[in-house]
Every structure is written in C-alpha cells, then in structure tokens.
Amino acid sequence: MRLGTKQAFLVLAGEPRLGSSTIALKPNLGAVLRGWTAGTRISPVWGFHEFGCDKPKTIRFDGRNILIFLGPVSPAALWKGVDLGGRPANANIWLGVGSYNTIIRLDCDEAGPAVGERILEWADSRDVPYERWVVQSGTIEQVSAHAARNEGNPKILTDLARLSQTTFDPSLRLEVQEFLTLMASSITRSANTSSTINDRLRKVLGSMASTLAGSLSGDSKRVLDTHAALVIMNAALSRFSSQAFSGISPIASTECHFWIHSLLGTGAANIALMQLTSFIQSTLGEARLPERVLALKGVTSQIPTHDELLAGDEFLWKDHIGGLRLDKATDGEVRPLITYFSGRDGYSSQLQTLSAPLSCIAQATAHRTNILTVTHEISHIFVEGILGYLYPDPDDDEAFLEFAKLSESEESHSNLFDVGRRLLIEAMLTMESDEENRQIPQDEISADFMKHVAVKWRREIKEILVHTFDYMYFYNDDPEFYINSIWATWCAIPGIGDRIEEYILRTVCAVSPRLLRHEPKSRRQEILAIFRKALQPLADDATITSNYATTAMRHLASNWSVEGGQGTLSSAYDARIYLVRLVAALFHSETIAAKLFKDPRVVGGSPTGYTKTKGVFDDEAIENPLRFARVHLEKSPKESDSLWLLHNMAFCTTQEGRG
C-alpha cells in the first residue's frame, strides 16, 4: 500500500464529552486555523492511495461513519491479517505519528460494520489497542475501546509503594515523590499501550531503584548525585509520557503539548527512537567496550615502541580489542535510557536520558538533519565508560603520580592499557604546550601538573574522543556526510558562534583517522580540503538560520596553515591528533563496528539491501534500525518518507508491531 505524500489534518473540536465534540479532516493547516476554537486539537495524517485518500481534501464525515483508531501497529499487519473486502471504496485508511497510528473510516452501510467487526476481532486477538467511534454527520456519538493486557502491574505498583515508604534523605523527598508518581502513571499507561515501552520503563525503574538505594548510605556525594539523577529523569519522563501517551484512550481527554500533534501525540515516533537507541546500546553494550579497554592491561606482547606509538602506522590498524576474551562475571549491561523529543533540548544526553530534536519527526530521513545524529549522544555514554577506567579521577593523587611517571618514559610500556594512557598524556601535554605556546620541560611535569592539565582539558578531550568514536563506529568513513550532519545540527543551535574554533577542531579530528597514515603536512592539507568540500554546500544554503558554516570557512581561511607552526589552528589540530590515534588504535574495533551494520534481513539486488520501497508499507521485518535508517537518507526528503522510516523502525523491528 502506498502512502500519499501530502498531509491532511484530523481536527477534533469541542469538549471532551459525547455529543459535543466533532471530528473533521482538513486538507491543510490554513483550513484548520481559520476554524480554530479553544477546544481544538489536531494531528497530521497521511492517506493510503489504495483507500482513496492519498490526496488531502475536506471530509466532514457526513452521514453515519465508524472511525477506528488502532495502534501502535504496523498498518500492513492490518491488511495482511484482515480481509477488508477487496479494499472497498467505502473505507479510508490514514496513518499518523501517534500511538494510535492507524485510523480507519468505514461507512455504516451494509459492508462497513462487518469489515469493522473483523478489524476489531483481529485487534482483540492480537491485543492491539483501539478506540472506536460512531460519528454521525461529524459529531461523535459513541465511543468504545480496547486496551492491551500487559500483565505484572500490581507487582510494579507494590514496588513503587514500597519505595515511597523508604526513608530517603530529606533533600530527595519531593523528587522521589514526583518520580514515583510519574513512573506509576507511565507504567500503567504503557501497559495499556505498548509492551516495548512497558519493558523499557520497567528497566529504567529497576536502574533508578538501585540509584535510590545507593543514596541510603548517607554519603553526601551520592545523595547529591541521586538528586541530580532524579531531577533529570523526572523532566525526561514527564516529556516522554506526554508525547507517547497523548492520544491514547480516551483520545478526547488526552492532549499532547506539541500542538501540531495535540490530538494523537507522537507515540509511534517515540517507539522508533526507542528501538534505534536500544539496538545501538545493546550491540555496543554486549561488546562491553569499557571492559575491553580495561582488559588491555593483560595484553603485554606486540607493544609499540615510543616512536611507533606517537607516529607509527601499523600499530593503529590492528584490532586490539575485538579479539579479547573477557571475564564473564563483568557486568556490561548498559543503563536503559528514557528517550524523548524536544524542541528546546535538541540532541542532548544525560546519564539515563536522551533527547532528539522535535524536527526529527518530520525530517528523520533528511541527509542533514536526520535521526541518526543521536549516535553522537550514545557515543558519549560509551566514551564516558572507557574514560572511567582510562582517565584519572581528580581525587586520586596516586593516579596522577603514575601519569607523571608514564610521561617520562620513552621505553616501551608494559601493556596496551598503559599505551592508551600514554597517548592520553601526550595529548594533554601537547594541548597545554600549544596553548601556552612553549615546550613544557620534563622537570615541570609533576603529579600536580598532570592533575592541572587533566582537569583543565578533560571536557575538550572527551568531546574529541566522542566525535572520533562516533565517526569511526557509525559513519562508515564518510567524512562529507559526517561534517554535513554535525554542522547542520550545530547550525540549528542559536548563540554558539563564539565556539566555532572548538567545533572546527572537533570536526577535523573526528574525520582524521584514515589520514593518520599521512605525514603531518599532507594531513593538514588533506583535512583542509575535506572540510571545505563538505562544508561549502551548507555555507551556501540560504535557508539555514544560524549559518556558522560560513563563519567556520572564514575562520579556517585565516587561521589554518598547511605548514603548521605555533599559534595556528593547524597546530592545535596537530596537538589533538594523539586523541585520534587513541580512538583508532584502542577504542575502535572493525569486528565490533561491523556488528552495528549487520542485518540478516539484508537482500541482494537492491541498492539499499532491503526489499522495501519508500512510501510503500509492508510487514517485512528488519532487524537493524540503524542500518535501515542509514541507507534511506536523502538530500530532499518528504515528510511522508520520514513517517515511513519511523514506522518501519518502530514496528518492523518487533513482533509486537507486526501484529
């Protein structure tokens, strides 16, 4: 079934009680706004060609109609599972972004009710939630509903009640109360809606319960950390809940605060984002990257010499961590995330929360502003985990003493973990040296000095490592795509013009791994060309609001020297290249990276590797939402393509969504 490319708007008007609310379909936003009332709520929907509604037009639902709101479910599962009577002319099917993502209209003539019964019977048998309206001349006259029957809520609610009776630190009281009630609401609502969401929420609750239990030790730092975790989690959970559970039954009483989706919410898009992050987290989580880096302490052979470490090539391209055998007892499970969309936060991640820009819902397939930029936020989680082992804790004086000693040695190190630390130290020292515009003599490098530079440069070092990690694992060595995506994201953030130099450095470092084979001068030359080529189209794009790309091009022109030399941007780049070496040599594994793009559903004879056609809905499964999204990006996407992508990510990766 082929989806129309133009959206219409389903418009609910009036009060949320029977006999006083009306429903209509309007062909465009202007038509909606002209008739807006205080009680109006709307959602964009797209019609299917085979059901005669792919071209938006006004429908007032004259006569007697049955409207069925069904979901979350793959729409193809419906027509694959139910005999719709040869796609009758007296039926329409639209697709939306909400949890009730499939909207069906049937005439109340002789065939309509029978088809309606078959649909509801099918939904009942598969536990797909729905709400059924009988609409007479646009007025809603009857409402009935079916909720999913996920089990186990009583136990969860008992757990929440038990937590509410625990005596936590008084400073946590309000946040704990808010968290418990938010969680109770979200879990009970998700139990009636989606087992995918319900499972995720249970995991988050388990993880937060551990955090709360940790605060009982009385350690004031843990109490503070718990407080921060609760504040962040409550904000994320509140937004997630408002997005995913708006528009579920009773539809007329649940309102989403994204006003363009105020009628049916964005539940389907929330599930898509959840599936994407789950896939990446579980694939990299299973690989236990931080534990692998730690296990390099046991690798004592084939250690590079000091010269090889700082400038050699061969050492970089061996997969040092992919083949390591880890102790099974090590817990590599990654903390489950609450993911949500936010117009204000854009791409952002905290310990257990992750947001993507609201624009992703409409532009998930856009080459520049696609949903895959979320990988940067996920990269933060893994790099933080690795740095937890590699980077010294500011309170650990012993570690800084060890760092100072490591900095002296020009002999081979005893194991590859120390090799990693040495690269980190080299980066810290050259960054400091570059900024200070002087060589740092060895006798100045004490434990205190190491502590000073480690604390000072931590944020920037982490960002460069994250960018390089993101590029190497998720961008298949495609610098133009990476630069375009990351700068388009930055261009959407107002007021960061004063950080352009930092962003240039992050970018050129990230895309440098393959240039590590080059001599420094050739590398500087090459990276300049790559950066300019990738950024020029963005600089030329008049539609971009905050066009930092132009500023970056200008800054680069006056500060980059192919010859290098103190005080130039290229010398700052040279100083940071040790961080790129660190990621390429010890954070990245070709074997593990390939798992991120493995999908047993890949087929031959298709440019994308999938049998699916954009805009056409089928129930063919995919197993890798990351790969699927990556191969379906395009330069000039349609909003309906974004809907198609999100639906496939949400429902074709699970049995639940496929009915």
Q: Is 313 in the site for another protein (CB under 8 A)?
A: no
> Cα–chain-centroid distance for residue 523?
32
Residues 80 and 618: their CA atoms lie apart, in Å, by 9
CB of 596 to another protein, least distance (A): 8
Of 126 and 458, the one with the shorter C-beta distance to another protein is: 126
Sign of dihedral through CA atoms 561, 567, 573, 575?
Answer: positive
For residues 579-608, which are near another protein according to CB under 8 A? Answer: 590-591, 593-595, 597-604
Interface with another protein includes 476 (CB under 8 A)? yes
Residues 6+ apart with CB under 8 A from 536: 553
Task: Give yes or no for residue 609 binding another protein (CB under 8 A).
Answer: yes
The closest of 329, 279, 355, 274 to 650, measured between CA atoms, is: 274
The residue from 472, 585, 643, 650 that contacts another protein (CB under 8 A) is 472
Write out the DSSP string of 120-133.
Answer: HHHHHHTT--EEEE
> To the nearest whole angstrom, how small is the minimum distance from the Cβ of residue 183 to another protein?
31
Dihedral sign (CA 129, 134, 139, 141): negative
State in angstroms the smallest separation of the CB of 118 from another protein: 9
Tell me which residues in 477-496 interact with another protein (CB under 8 A).
477-478
Scanning residues 17 to 46, which ones bind another protein (CB under 8 A)? none
CA separation for the pair 198, 252 (Å, rounded): 23
- By the rule CB under 8 A, 621 interacts with another protein: yes
3-state secondary structure of 147: coil
Q: How many residues bind another protein (CB under 8 A)?
A: 30
SS3 letters for 5-20? CCCEEEEEEECCCCCC
Strand, helix or coil at 625? helix
Min CB(319)–another protein separation in Å: 11
Q: Taking the mean position of all CA atoms in its chain, how far away is CA 39?
A: 33
In the bound state with another protein, the residue whose beta carbon lies nearer, of 313 and 393, is 313
The reply to whether 2 sits near another protein by the rule CB under 8 A is: no
Taking CB under 8 A as the criterion, which residues in 186-245 touch another protein? none
| Between 271 and 602, CB nearer to another protein | 602
Among 29, 82, 147, 492, binds another protein (CB under 8 A): 82
655 binds another protein (CB under 8 A): yes
Question: Which listed residue (15, 62, 83, 121) binds another protein by CB under 8 A?
Answer: 83
Of 608, 599, 629, 622, which is closest to residue 371 (Cα–Cα)?
Answer: 629
Tell me the C-alpha distance between 87 and 344, whole Å.
Answer: 43
> Least distance (Å) from another protein to the CB of residue 51?
16
Q: How far is the CB of 96 from another protein (least distance, A)?
A: 24
Please tell me whether residue 346 binds another protein under the rule CB under 8 A.
no
Q: Considering the rule CB under 8 A, would residue 505 count as an interface residue with another protein?
A: no
Rounded Cα distance between 470 and 482, Å, is 9
CB of 122 to another protein, least distance (A): 8
In the sheet where 353-357 sits, what is the strand order? 338-342, 353-357, 348-349
How far apart are CB 257 and another protein at their closest, in Å? 38
Q: Does 80 bind another protein (CB under 8 A)?
A: yes
Can you tell me the distance from the alpha carbon of 515 to that of 510, in angstroms, rounded to the nearest whole number? 11
Does 549 sit near another protein (CB under 8 A)? no
Tokens (6 digits) for 370: 């696609």
**Interface ranges with another protein (CB under 8 A):** 80-83, 86, 472, 475-478, 590-591, 593-595, 597-604, 609, 611, 619-621, 627, 655
